[in-house]
Amino acid sequence: MKKPSIIGISSLCFLVITMNACYYDQVLPVVPVGEVGEMSFSQDIVPIFNASCNATGCHNQGGQKPDLSATNAYNSLNSGGYINKSNPEASELYLWMTGEKSSPMPLSGPNATYNAKVLAWIEQGALNN
C-alpha cells in the first residue's frame, strides 16, 4: 500500500486553505432613498418591524431592547437613542439593520429595501406619522 507523500498532503492542505479564503461578504444593492418616497412610521416602518423584528423573544414587549411592538416602537427608539436625526446614517437602528454595528438585524440578513425605507424615514425627520 502506498503512503501519502508530504508534498501531496501539503498540496491538499494548501488547496483547502486557499478555497476557504475565497469568501466574499454579501453586498446589498443600494436602493436610492429618493425611490422610496415619503415615509410614514405607521404605514411603512412598523410593518417592517412586524415582519422581521418583534417576534416572540426578540424586540417585543418584555424582549430585547428596543421594544419594536407597534404600540411602543416609536417611543422606544427615540428614548433609547437609536435615532440620530442630524446624521441618519449613524443612527444605531440603521447600523444594526445594515450589519455595520454587529450581526445584521433581522437575523435572516440585511434587506436593502427595508434599510432604504428606515434611512429615508430618519432623513425625513423620524416623525411619528
Residue 55 DSSP symbol: S
**In which band, very low, low, confident or very high, does the pLDDT at 90 lie, cut at 50, 70 and 90?**
very high
pLDDT at 31: 52
CB 36 within 8 A of CB 116: yes
Grid-cell match 446614517, residue found: 89
**In which band, very low, low, confident or very high, does the pLDDT at 116 lie, cut at 50, 70 and 90?**
very high
CB 60 within 8 A of CB 72: no
pLDDT at 117: 95
**In which band, very low, low, confident or very high, does the pLDDT at 68 lie, cut at 50, 70 and 90?**
very high
